[in-house]
Structure 1
Amino acid sequence: MKYLIVALALFAGSAEARPIPKADTVFLHGYVYTVDARDSVAQALALREGKIIYIGDDAGTKRLIGKKTQVIHLKGRMVMPGLIDGHMHPQSGGLRMLNCNLNYEALTIPQFQARIQTCVDADTEAGPESWLVVINWFEQNMQPAGTVLTHVALEGVKTARPIMVHSSFGHSNLVNARAMALAGITRDTPDPKDGRIVRDADGQPTGLLEEAAQDLVDKLVPPPSVEKNYRATHLALEAMREQGITSFLDAYTDIETMTAYRTVAAEGGLTARAHFAVLIDSPADYDADKAIAEVLRQKAEFEQKDDGVKPVMKVDTAKLFLDGVYSAPAFSAVMVEPYFEHGRPGQNYGPKPYFSQTQLDDTLIKLAAAGLNPHMHADGDGSVRQGLDAIAAMRKVHPGEDIRPAIAHDEIIDPADYKRYAEVGALPVLSFQWGKPSVDIAASKEALGPLRYALIEPTGLLELYGARIVYGSDWPVDRLDEWLALQVAVTRTAVGEDAVKYPGRLGIDPGLTIAQAIRAITINAAYSLRQDKVTGSLEPGKFADLIVLDRNLLEIKPEAISGTQVLLTMVGGKVVYQAKE
């Protein structure tokens, strides 16, 4: 591919009248993948004051190199825009590094109990009233396959403490009898709106709490201290810059999280452009005006003004949950057609939608008037359709507003709705790593039925129908591994031991090319955050948010993408991570 030469007026008038300003940093002898409108490739780039001032060949940098210019010889390595994660939960990821961690592993009940017992025994300062919070429980991968836990498993842990175990998917908790007693959960406790207390055949609660029922116990657990939140923010930012993430959306934030990030930012430790989505919940007495007023109040308190190329905090998004998850055992995603039972369509369409269509339409219209982007969780095709309908209603009232509505996850979509994303300007925010054969998908195959199973995770199909696809890791629902996700986007296959257990491609979806996958995690994600004018591609005038890789993603086999290592991460021209080698 021919090198791109970008002409830039470096000074007004003749060269004799004014000296050429020199670059702060110049990268030479590289493969500079710009992700511009033509996916152009260059050999070199130059930076000054945190912005890109030149992209082209090595020869064009000579007049920009001065005595103080740092010259980096790439030796053919790939440079690309920094990664932009359009949907994650970084504070939860940081906090989970500080808690009792089951690490997403497949466990038998004795192993599950032993891991939690180790945490209990290690915490010698905790008293019987101290809550033990356990995280990253891969509920769908308990062994042997099909094992469903109840509180009885937790009664085998030798402690008087109340225990709460978080499923890694984030849509269910398992609690012990002590925790249920403290929460007042009995056979007579009604299911809360948008939630379910799982019960046995005799009507007794099993200890498994799904969706909004988690709040019955969550509200009793003391929130993390200011110091713990501060530590979690630093851990999250460290994990992100090692992955090459230079911008992100925290897709469900809280005041404690934004307070911690504000403290870190004031100390100069914010190493990524931080966007935050404030939750709009759907209680029985839902009032859209009050909910949006609270989002705007938090925006006024925490949003920071742009400060040149320096990363700042933006509170520009509202988060709305439209349903839960399609996967077993919850089946809490809203469906157009019912889940299958005994090989045929049954009677279960999933839960009642969390918002009525009128409520959702009204909320999105008012969010647009307030200049806020709606970001909707929708896992099933019924909730996806509801979100698309609400966006269409919003566009009719605000056709000219720069609102960039997102529907996150989109795991099951009715084919009739594929083309609607482009028609109404809806952004599907997808977690590519889910688009492979896995234990949770296999466990849900029968309930989905043959058609939905064949079309599950329709990444490539949405691309074919013109949707602007955005990537979001949903970390810590999974381990933070952006490069595995990019590989799966292309191959649709599992890796490592999972590839042996679950061979072959997932479904009939064609997947993405690596170029399409890269755009989803760079310029498309920048667009979703309304910062595509300054990030997401490497072009003169844009911020110098970039990464250097140990391999060329466009020249290696797709199966090698997941092994990618980030050698350097730069945000606004400042190096925020550099590999040891």
Structure 2
Amino acid sequence: MIPPERLRRRTLLATGLASVAAIPSAVAPAASPRPRSGAALVVHNARVLTGVAGAPPQEAIAVGRDGRVLATGPSAVVRRHAGRDTDVVDAAGATVMSGIVDGHAHPVGAGVRSLKLSLEHRSFTVDQLQGTLRGFLEESDGSEPDGWLEVVDWNPVGLLPPGTEAHHRILDALPTRRPVALIGADGHVAWVNRRALDLAGIDRGTPDPPAGSIARGPGGEPTGILRDDALYAVTRLIPGPGGEQLYDACSRVLTRAAAQGVTTFLDAACTDWELGVYAALASSDRLPQRVAAALRLDPDEVADPPEALAWLREARAKHREVPGLAIRTAKVFLDGVIEHPSRSAALLDPYLDGDGRPTDHRGDLHATGARFAKLATLLDRHGFQVHAHAVGDRAVRTALDGYEAARRANGPRDNRHTIAHLQLVHPDDLPRFRRLGVVACMQLQWAMRNEWTVEALLPYLGERRHRWLYPARGLERNGAVLAGGSDWPVDPLGVWNQIRTAEDREGNSARQGALYPEREGLERASALRMHTAGSAYQLRMDRLVGRLTPGRAADLVVLDRDVTRIPVQQVGDAQVRLTLVGGKPVFDADTEEGKRVRAEMMLSPLTSARPASYPGTGTGTGTGSGAGRSRCGCGAPGPATARA
């Protein structure tokens, strides 16, 4: 690590002409501003990663006054671009590289979640959980008897001892009449009390929604566990934040993301509501990143492709003038999540029962192959990209089949359709990604051994399929374009841990070791490239961002170390010293604001606002730092997910 004080900065100022300053103003000629000359910024004595495959690191980079890369090369050559008012930074041998392009996240959701009470992904016994919830109730006792107690970051596999089942009776025992909802960290499951079920109108006769399920006991009575779209019956009733409180929260978390080097996001499940938030942030100069929006299609729209196309066009036209916001992608959910107890991801072969015996359960496919193919074909024909949530191997195959149908009908159109998550991919399908031009967007911070990939998964998949988990190297070896995404706020945002885990399959927070690193770990260069050039390619922004070559936008980060040479265990601890978007600083660790943001990040991870010191939360165990949810938060509903 390079100490911050060694990252030296100076501005080259114009010299002399002191005699002119001494001339009395009455007789001095009118001063005219001297034209600014040279580059806006030169960073030298660096390891500049241009992102061009096979290209060696350069020593320096110059950023033009138009916010684009002017030149890279040897320090002696690039410094010739410095003028009298060029900002010059000595990187002291640290890495300069493209800013991080996050190919799958939920930034507005992170802002909303930062305002809510949190269980911080911890594991609890029933007594510990009830004690923590009693503390939350006491803090807000003015909300009796009808105010919702909503708590986020509940760990669906963290009820102790292992095997303890969540049931509304546990929440009903709390000393309150209020409706209670614990929202799973994955955004695909919720646990609610009887009062919440009653308010949502969920009883023995309530049918499951098309893309979700209501857990039931032996007699058919709801247990209080709601999966996927069944959550909406409850979450639509819970008031959400709005106005300046919401915009300030989103601005705060986006600034902290910039402090980790994120310069572009794909918001992977937008509705009109999220688009409105981005428009408000942009209008008040509080949107530091570029944002691509994937508009979430509900099951009815997936079944009605012309309606889906009409909404995409309408939303794009409505927000066309919002600076920094691009709308050209549709989001489709093909399945749920794979871990026990949810097991809603769609598998080719049935789940096991935990003792190695096959069951008749293969998970839930939220759209038939024919329906998805029809949608993909229409959107592809009109230039829209499809971003499919597919966790299980049957969902992955359904997505590939749909994209193949679109290619067969329309020919190659370079829309770069994408499959996100790819937790389980059948080996036969690995070569199809390159052949069909499908991008593999992976969240590799989950590729580690912990309770999610071992206790909640291995017994239900078996050894053979377990070895297929997160097949990053297999996809790369078969020629697929890899892109990186965080799925933030399912985990606290940890960009450099994502990159580390892509390589060593263990990361900063694994508690049971690495997950088949010899089989699926990536080389360092590949791990860096998938989170920059790979995601830029996915978002169809690769001519603008993702590489540092002349003419591309100066979306870059200056780090505190050379991430190409340090041991892999140190990659996750990398710190960003400077982040630029279009040549404009959006985070600078040497400013007072930068120091304040960094201090906040040291106190709490980039997740919910509820600190670990809150009475009751310290009684749990586990992952206050967010140790790999192995899930997707893109199902997590916001305060107003229904489109206006």
If the length of structure 2 is used for normalisation, what is the TM-score?
Answer: 0.83
Of residues 267, 271, 277, the one that matches 2:284 is 267
**Is the counterpart of residue 359 in structure 1 residue 359 in structure 2?**
no
Pair 1:336-2:348 in alignment? yes
Displacement after TM superposition at 1:506 (Å): 3.5
1:518-575 residue CA offsets vs partner (Å, 9 max, x unmatched)? 1100001001111100110111111110001111111111111111111111111111
Match of 1:154 among 157, 161, 171: 171
Q: Retained in 1: the 8 A contact 2:302–2:332? A: no
Separation in 2, partners of 1:559, 1:450: 27
Alpha-carbon contact 2:507-2:572 (below 8 Å) kept? no
Q: Give, in whole Å, the separation in 1 of the partners of 2:428 and 2:518.
A: 16
Cα 1:474–1:62, aligned 2, differ >3 Å: closer, same or farther? closer
Matched, 1:436 2:448: yes
Pick one of 211, 216, 220 that aligns with 1:194: 211
Q: For the Cα contact (< 8 Å) 2:99–2:263, is it kept in 1?
A: yes
In the superposition, relative to structure 1, how do residues 255 and 207 fare at CA in structure 2: closer, same or farther (>3 Å)?
same
What is the aligned partner in structure 2 of residue 37 from structure 1? 53
Range with bigger deviation, 24-33 or 211-220: 211-220
Taking the aligned partners of 1:504 and 1:393, their CA distance within structure 2 comes to 38
Residue 69 (str. 1) matches residue 61 (str. 2): no
Instruction: After superposing the two structures, state which structure 1 stretch, 254-263 or 407-416, moved more.
Output: 254-263
Which residue, 474, 487, 490 being the options, matches 2:487?
474
Q: Percent identity?
A: 34
1:110-125 map, 5 Å: 110-125=127-142
Partner of 2:75: 58
Which moves more between the two structures, 153-162 or 256-265? 153-162
Whether contact under 8 Å (1:50, 1:573) holds in the other structure is yes
Aligned AA (1:28): H
Report the Cα offset of residue 453 of structure 1.
0.6
Residue 38 of structure 1 deviates from its aligned partner by 2.4
Q: CA deviation at 1:125?
A: 4.3
The code of the aligned residue for 1:464 comes to R
C-alpha displacement of 1:92: 1.0
Q: Deviations over 1:202-231 (max 9, x none)?
A: 322110001121122122223432334313
Choose which of 30, 44, 50 in structure 2 pairs with 1:28.
Answer: 44
The partner residue of 2:104 within 70, 83, 87 is 87
Equivalent residue runs for 1:384-533 within 5 Å: 384-442=396-454, 443-496=456-509, 498-499=510-511, 502-506=512-516, 509-533=519-543
In structure 2, C-alpha distance between the alignment counterparts of 1:146 and 1:550, rounded to whole Å: 45
Whether the 8 Å CA contact 2:46–2:94 is kept in 1: the answer is yes
Per-residue CA distance 1:465-515 (angstroms, 9 max, x = gap) = 11101011111111110111111111112535x43xx13434763310110
CA distance in 1, matches of 2:409, 2:544: 29
The one-letter code sitting in structure 2 at the alignment partner of 1:261 is Y
Amino acid at match of 2:580: M
Matched position secondary structure for 1:165 = strand
| Contact residue 455 and residue 507 of structure 1 kept, 8 A | no
Task: Give the CA deviation at 1:152.
Answer: 1.9
* Residue pairs, 1:120-139, within 5 angstroms: 120-139=137-156
The corresponding residue for 2:394 is: 382
Q: Distance in 1 between matches of 2:341 and 2:55?
A: 43
Structure 2 Cα separation of the partners of residues 414 and 469 of structure 1:
17
Partners of 1:316 and 1:285 lie apart in 2 by 16
Residue type at the aligned position of 1:160: R
Structure 2 distance, partners of 1:284, 1:388, is: 20
Q: Say whether the 8 Å CA contact 1:229–1:257 is kept in structure 2.
A: no
Match of 2:603 in 1: none
2:385 partner letter: N
Alpha-carbon distance in 1 for matches of 2:474, 2:412:
28
Give the deviation of 1:197 after TM superposition. Answer: 1.0
Q: Is contact 2:497–2:507 with CA below 8 Å preserved after alignment?
A: no
What are the ranges of 5 or more consecutive residues in structure 1 without an aligned counterpart?
1-18, 306-310
Q: Distance in 2 between matches of 1:573 and 1:350?
A: 47
Q: Larger relative contact order (C-alpha < 8 A, sep ≥ 6)?
A: 2
Deviation at 1:151, TM superposition (A): 1.3
- CA contact under 8 A between 1:493 and 1:506: conserved in structure 2? no
Superposed structure 1 runs of 4+ greater than 6 Å apart: none
The correspondence of residues 265-304 of structure 1 with structure 2, limited to 5 A, is 265-283=282-300, 286-304=303-321
What corresponds to 1:5 in structure 2?
Answer: none
The whole-number CA distance in structure 2 between the counterparts of 1:137 and 1:359 is: 34
CA offsets 1:289-311 (integer angstroms, 9 cap, x no match): 11221122111112337xxxxx6
Q: Does the 8 Å CA contact 1:141/1:440 hold for their aligned counterparts?
A: no
SS of structure 1 residue aligned to 2:548 = coil
Of the structure 1 ranges 72-81 and 121-130, higher mean CA displacement relative to structure 2 is found in 121-130
1:140–1:328 Cα contact (<8 Å) kept: yes
The 3 A distance-change label for structure 1 pair 460 and 169 is same
Q: Distance in 2 between matches of 1:540 and 1:21?
A: 18
Aligned AA (2:239) = P
User: For the Cα contact (< 8 Å) 2:36–2:85, is it kept in 1?
Assistant: no
Residue in 2 that maps onto 1:575: 585
SS at structure 1 position matched to 2:572:
helix
Letter in 2 for 1:387: A
Q: Report whether the alignment pairs 1:347 with 2:357.
A: no
Task: Judge conservation of contact 2:302–2:372 (CA < 8 Å) in 1.
Answer: no
